[in-house]
Amino acid sequence: MFIKGWLPALLLALCLVSGVSAAEPTALTVSDIAFSAGAEIPVAGWVPAPAHQRDINAEARRLGLSPPLFSSSVWVRYRFDRTVAGGGHVAMTSDFMRERYTVYLNGIDLYRTNAGIGDGNLGWHRPAYVPLPDRLLRPGINNLVFRLESADARPLAIGSVSVGPDMAVRALTNRLLFLETTGPEIINGVLALLTGGTLLLWLVRRQEPVFGWLVLVGAVWWFRNLHYYIDSAPFDNALFWTLTTDSIFVLMAVVYGFAATFFALPHRRRVIIAAFSVCGLAIVVRHGLVAYGHADTPSFLLTIPVAVATMYVLALACLRTRQIENMMMLAAVAAATGFGFHDLLLATTGTAGTRFYLQPYGSLLVFSAFGFALGRRLLLALAINENVNEVLAQRITDAASRLARSEATRRALQVANAIEVERERLMREIHDGIGSSLITALAVAEHRQDSPGTIATLKRSITDLRIGVDSLEPIYGDVTLLLASLRHRMERELLAAGIGFVWKVEAVPPLAWLDAVAALHVLRILQEAIGNILDHADARLIDVQCAPARDHGVEGVVIIITDDGRGFDISARRGEGGREGGGGRGGGGRGLSNMAARAEALRAILDCTSAPGKGTRLSLWLPLAN
């Protein structure tokens, strides 16, 4: 792929530089001119003149001669030494000839480009190459004469003439042929494709005028480049040449209009109007100068101010944005403008830096800069699109996650609602069923004056039932609310037994794991403790405390119940089979054992301390996280 891509370019470069050798052609620097309509080389009337002339008629007027302006002939004579080619074959070349010309070597008609003065072919863009036969050459000084003819308003002209070894002259001619003719022809083909593609873009994106301006630039530049390589005009030669020359000004105006639109200048309408106005004025001035027989160079000089002003405005816009595509476009437009003035200098004086016209190559610079800007814009759009896709994907993921959480929450709410409905049903059934039966039994027992133990047992059963129902109420981990419910249910029974109740509950954090089952375990532990005090302690005061507490660095809540009763021997009760001592309503030492089992189910820590005659202290530590 590398070889296929670079080999043609390498061969082209070798062709272009193949003329550089030790034996370069010699440029002829001395010449004479003479005006004569005859078919023979003039004998008299020769006047010394510069070796290359882009407007021989203007030079003749400067010398005080009065040649006919149109349908005229001019003779140009050069002298060269046969030794310029050593002992080899000799040839001549010229980079510029105005249409029809005849070459004479030492008075012999050697070569001509036209059959007659009416021949309308265009030939100025092709460098001349004429071999000089050895049999016509003299050993010393030789005369090389050109007869130049023109049938229209274009000035007679001749470019730089060189003589030298045939191979070196041929190589120089091939190089000039490529740069003057083949290169512009290739560029114009590429330009047609680029303009057509840009036209399609503009038809699709009519809202972006920069594409429309670039289509105008490509179309005008394509027409302007035609005269660099076509041999026969598509219509009248004089009209084609006039339109081709005027297209220089139109091209300048549309290039500056495109640049102003590309840079999005804030006052681009003014820039465009100024460019078209000045270029239109230059066209009018040029036609006036030509009509009165003067050179049209001043009309081109009128465009210098608008060119300088436009470059200045574009440079300021480029400095404000500092974008690489703007810098490249500024360089391309500036180079194209410079090429135009280079070609003007080459066309009027023949002394520009190169021997070929540069303006056709400026179109590639402008289109390449625009292609770079369009490609960069496309890459940025792709990057933005990829970023948008990533953002959308992330948003979809987040939305799906939120939807999943929402669905989980909805299901949890459904479950919670179902549990709440079932809890309310159970509470209602217990209250209306078992509760009503126990209350009825208590009323019957009191009416029949049954034993106090029976009545007390029924009351305790009703209290147990109510505590169980209270545990079904949602408390959302609030330990304080749970203790308040217990106090409400048991404080009446304590007061009836003549026992005081001291409440010391601090604000504690909620326990997230404290659901209805866990709440019932806590209530049963506390109820068991208070029931033991009522049944066995013979106490006068119960102290209930609740506060935040740490256990081995773990945050939690502690509930402490203390009484001033007669106490008991913990070690003796533990020996009866209870895990933390015995006694209580469970009998056989199972009271503390049951409390310890419930605490273990809660992953809580239960601690009971007591001694005969010193009361009892029970603490229940509950972790914040379970």
CATH number at 227 reads 1.20.1070
Q: Please, which residues have CB within 8 angstroms of residue 416's CB and are 6 or more apart in sequence?
A: none
Give the per-residue pLDDT at 61. Answer: 66
Cβ(17)–Cβ(31) under 8 Å?
no
Task: Count Cβ atoms below 10 Å from residue 418 Cβ, excluding itself.
Answer: 10
Mean pLDDT on 466-480: 69
| Percent above pLDDT 90 for the chain | 33
- Structural domain contains residue 149: yes
| Percent above pLDDT 70 for the chain | 78
Please indicate, yes or no, whether residues 133 and 211 belong to a single structural domain of this protein: no
Using only C-alpha atoms, the chain has a radius of gyration, in whole angstroms, of: 56
- Structural domain contains residue 408: no
Give the per-residue pLDDT at 489. Answer: 74
* Tally of domains in the chain: 3
Rounded Cα gap, residues 334 and 321, in angstroms = 18
Mean pLDDT of the chain: 81
Closest CA to 539 of 567, 581, 580, 573: 567
Closest CA to 53 of 91, 93, 96: 96
Instruction: Give the pTM.
Output: 0.60
Rounded Cα gap, residues 125 and 226, in angstroms = 10
Report pLDDT digits (tens) over 235-254.
Answer: 777 788 889 889 999 999 99
Mean pLDDT on 261-281: 92
Please indicate, yes or no, whether residues 120 and 14 belong to a single structural domain of this protein: yes
Report pLDDT digits (tens) over 277-288.
Answer: 999 999 999 999
CA 263 to chain centre: 19
Closest CA to 536 of 570, 503, 567: 567
Predicted confidence (pLDDT) at residue 57 exceeds the cutoff of 60: yes
Residue 83 main-chain phi, psi, to 5 deg: -75, -5
Give the per-residue pLDDT at 416. Answer: 66
Give the per-residue pLDDT at 222. Answer: 95
Binned at pLDDT 50, 70 and 90, residue 492 comes out as: confident
Q: In Å, how far are 54, 352, 551 from 159, measured between CA atoms?
A: 7, 12, 108
Angle (nearest 5°) at CA 175 between 126 and 370: 90
Please indicate, yes or no, whether residues 231 and 366 belong to a single structural domain of this protein: yes
Domain that holds residue 369: 183-383
Give the per-residue pLDDT at 580. Answer: 37
- Structural domain contains residue 388: no
Classify residue 158 as exposed, middle or buried by CB count within 10 Å of its CB (0-12, 13-18, 19+): buried
Binned at pLDDT 50, 70 and 90, residue 346 comes out as: confident
Give the per-residue pLDDT at 350. Answer: 66
Q: What is the DSSP string of 576-602?
A: TT-SS---STT-TTHHHHHHHHHHHHT
Domain boundary among 124, 148, 176: 176
- Structural domain contains residue 124: yes
Please indicate, yes or no, whether residues 509 and 562 belong to a single structural domain of this protein: yes
Please indicate, yes or no, whether residues 256 and 168 belong to a single structural domain of this protein: no
For β-strands 500-505 and 541-551, DSSP reports them as parallel
The two tokens of residue 311 are: 């470059």
Please indicate, yes or no, whether residues 274 and 192 belong to a single structural domain of this protein: yes
The larger pLDDT score, comparing residue 492 to residue 460, is at 492
Give the per-residue pLDDT at 446. Answer: 65
CA-CA-CA-CA torsion for 298, 300, 303, 304, nearest 10 degrees?
Answer: -80
- Structural domain contains residue 270: yes
In one letter, which amino acid is 105? L
Report pLDDT digits (tens) over 10-50.
Answer: 334 434 444 344 468 888 888 888 888 788 899 888 888 87
Please indicate, yes or no, whether residues 172 and 200 belong to a single structural domain of this protein: no
Domain boundary among 317, 350, 383: 383
The two tokens of residue 186 are: 């290739």
Rounded Cα gap, residues 164 and 162, in angstroms = 7
CATH number at 145 reads 2.60.120.260
Q: What is the DSSP string of 378-394?
A: HHHHHHHHHHHHHHHHH
Mean pLDDT on 69-84: 78
The two tokens of residue 611 are: 């001694």
Cβ(209)–Cβ(262) under 8 Å?
no
CATH number at 561 reads 3.30.565.10
Give the per-residue pLDDT at 17. Answer: 42
Domain boundary among 383, 406, 421: 383
Please indicate, yes or no, whether residues 167 and 121 belong to a single structural domain of this protein: yes
- Structural domain contains residue 409: no
- Structural domain contains residue 314: yes
Please indicate, yes or no, whether residues 520 and 486 belong to a single structural domain of this protein: yes
Mean pLDDT on 132-154: 84
Binned at pLDDT 50, 70 and 90, residue 381 comes out as: confident
Mean pLDDT on 170-198: 92
CA 292 to chain centre: 58
Please indicate, yes or no, whether residues 287 and 237 belong to a single structural domain of this protein: yes
Cβ(563)–Cβ(615) under 8 Å?
yes
Report pLDDT digits (tens) over 189-233.
Answer: 999 999 999 999 999 988 899 999 999 999 999 999 998 888 777
For the chain, the 3-state helix, strand and coil shares in percent, each to the nearest 5, are 55, 15, 25
Lowest average pLDDT, out of 168-177, 359-368, 519-528, 550-559, goes to 519-528
First to last CA, the chain: 71
Please indicate, yes or no, whether residues 377 and 309 belong to a single structural domain of this protein: yes
Please indicate, yes or no, whether residues 541 and 556 belong to a single structural domain of this protein: yes
- Structural domain contains residue 448: no
